[in-house]
Amino acid sequence: MPSPTRSDQAMREPAEEGSPQPAGIVERLVRDDVDRKRFLKMAGATGAASFGAFVLAACGSSSSSSSGKSAATATTAATSTASSSTGDVAILNYALTLEYLESEFYSKVIAANLFSGAVGELLQKFGSQEDSHVTALKAAVSKLGGTPVEDPHGKFPIKSATQVALLAYTVENLGAAAYLGQAAKIQSPEVLASALAIHSVEARHAATLGTLVKKSVTPQGAFATPAEMSTVLAAVKPFLG
Amino acid sequence: MSDNEIINPELAQCEVHGMTRSAFILRGALAAGAVYGTTAVAPFVSQALAAEESGDVGILNFALTLEYLEADFYNVKGKSLALSGEARKYAREFGAEEAAHVTALSAAIKQLGGKPVAKPTFVFPATSEKTFLALASVLENTGVGAYNGAAPSLKSKQVLASAGSIVQIEARHAAAIDLLIGKSPTPNEGFDKPLMKAEVLSAVKPLIKA
C-alpha cells in the first residue's frame, strides 16, 4: 500500500495555503475544510487498511457518520436514506443534475476563451462528453418511465485560467466520487453499466485536469472514495442558479 | 473506438509464449463488438457476463490476475528500464497502487471463502520508455473496460463498491498515461466501453507466460 501521505498533501495543499479569501464559490469548494478533512479521514483510513477493499467499504460507513451513510452500505440503505427519492430514476436524475452543471460549466469556460491550443481542445472535448452524458441520462430516465429533471442552469465563477482549471479539477473529482457513491445502490444492471461507463470517463477528466493543475491524478491513492448524495448536493449548491 | 484499437498493435506484436492458463480458456467467440452507442449503455454486458461461470470469486480472481499483471508491469518491468521524468514518477506511483489492488483483491477473495489465484509469470515486450508507455496505455485501458464489463455481474454490493473504487483509479492511470504519450485521455469519448472477459483475455494473454 502506498502511504497516505502523498494523497494527504495533494488534497491539503489548497486548504492550507489560504489566508482567508473572499469566500467565492471556488474557494468554498476547493478549500472546504470540513469536507476536505472528512475526505482525508476516509482516504487515510483506506490507505492504512492493508487488508483491503472490504475495509474500504467498512471505513466509509463508520467514518462518515456525520455525513450520512456510506455508499457501500448498499441497496437497503439506498431505499431508506435521506434524499426523499428512491430507486434508479432518482439516482439517474441526480446524475443528470450533475451532468447539467458540468455541461454548463464547460460551455461557460469555452465561451470565456481562457484556453487555447491543446488544453482548449481538451476542455471542449470534455464539454461535449458531458453533453452526451446529459443526453444519455435524460433518455435513460425517460426509458424507465421517469421525468428528467430540469436543467438547473448552473452559475460559475469564471475568472482566470488557473482558477477555472482548479475548479474543473474539483468538479470532476466530485463527479467521479458522486457516481462511485451511487454504484452499489443502482438496481438495474443496465443502468449500472451506464453509470460505470460514465464514471470512468469522469475519472479520466479528473486525472487529466490533475495534470494540468499539477496535482495528483490519484489524490486518494489506490482506492477512490465515494461521496454521498447529500455531500455532493451540498458542494454544488452554490452553483445552482 | 473499436476493439481493435484497444486490443492494440503493441499487443499484436507480442510474442506468444506457450499456452495460456486453463482458467483463461476462451469460451465462445469474441463478442462481435460495439453494440454501443451514446445512449445504449450496454444492456448486453451483464447478460454476456452472467453466462460465464464465475460468480463473485471468479470475477475477483480474474481482476486479481489483471492486477498482478499491472503490478509486475510497473514494479518489475518499469524498474528494469531507464525511465525518466513523468514516466518514472507514474510507474512508481501507479505500481504502488496496483500492488495495493492486488492486496485488496486477495483479501476480498479470501473473505468470500475463495482462494486467490497464484500470480502467473508475465513477459512484457517493452524495451524502452516509449514501448513501456504504449503498453501501459493498453493495460490500463483494458483494465478499465474489464472492470466496467464485469461489475454489473457482481452479486455483492460491497464487492461492487470496491470494484468501483478500483476502476476509477485505473481510469485515472489510463488518462494520465495517454496524455503523456499524446493520445486522447478519453479514447472512448463519453462512455467507456465495457469489455467482456474474452476481449480482455485476447488483450492480455500474450503477456502471460505461465
pLDDT digits (tens, 9 = 90+) for B55-76: 999 999 999 999 999 999 999 9
A9 grid coordinates? 498533501
Query: Looking at residue B73, what DSSP letter applies?
Result: I
Q: Which residues contact B51 (CB under 8 A, 6 or more apart)?
A: none
**Helices of type H across chain B:** 3-6, 9-12, 43-50, 55-72, 78-80, 85-111, 129-150, 157-180, 197-204
Rounded CA separation A85/A73 (Å): 17
CA distance B32 to chain A (A): 18
Express as a percent the part of chain B with pLDDT over 90.
72
pLDDT (tens, 9 = 90+) of chain A, 241 residues, equals: 333 333 333 333 333 333 333 333 333 333 333 343 343 333 333 333 323 333 333 333 333 333 333 333 333 333 333 333 569 999 999 999 999 999 999 999 999 999 999 999 999 999 999 999 999 999 999 999 999 999 999 999 999 999 999 999 999 999 999 999 999 999 999 999 999 999 999 999 999 999 999 999 999 999 999 999 999 999 999 999 7
- Which of A2, A52, A211 has its CB closest to that of B97? A2
Plot region of A74 (φ>0 → left; ψ -120 to 50 → alpha; else → beta): left
Lowest mean pLDDT among A22-31, B77-86, B110-119, B129-138: A22-31
C-beta of residue B88 within 8 angstroms of C-beta of residue A31: no
* Contacts with B104 from chain A: Cβ below 8 Å: 51-54, 56, 222-223
- Which of B97, B103, B161 has its CB closest to that of A71? B161
Tell me what the mean pLDDT of segment B39-68 comes to. Answer: 67
pLDDT given at position A230 = 96
Write out the DSSP string of A59-119: HHHHHTGGG---GGGHHHHHHHSTTS--HHHHHHHHHHHHHHHHHHHHHHHHHHT---HHH
pLDDT given at position A85 = 52
B122: three-class secondary structure by DSSP: strand
A108 grid coordinates? 461557460
- Chain B segment 158-177 residues within 8 A of A by beta carbon are 158-176
Q: How far is CA A78 from CA A85, A92, A148, A231, B155, in A?
A: 9, 13, 20, 15, 16
Q: Which residues contact B146 (CB under 8 A, 6 or more apart)?
A: B62, B63, B66, B195, B197, B200
Q: Mutation test of the interface with chain B: which of A42, A169, A196, choosing the one with the most B Cβ atoms within 10 A? A: A196
State the Cα torsion A155-A156-A158-A162 to the nearest 10°. -170
Rounded CA separation A101/B13 (Å): 44
pLDDT given at position A241 = 74
Q: What is the crossing angle of helices B157-180 and B55-72, to 10°?
A: 30
pLDDT band at B53 (very low <50, low <70, confident <90, very high): low
pLDDT given at position A53 = 35
CA distance B171 to chain A (A): 5
Nearest in space to A236 (alpha carbons), one of A161, A149, A172, A162: A172
Taking residue A178's Cβ as centre, other Cβ atoms within 10 Å add up to 25
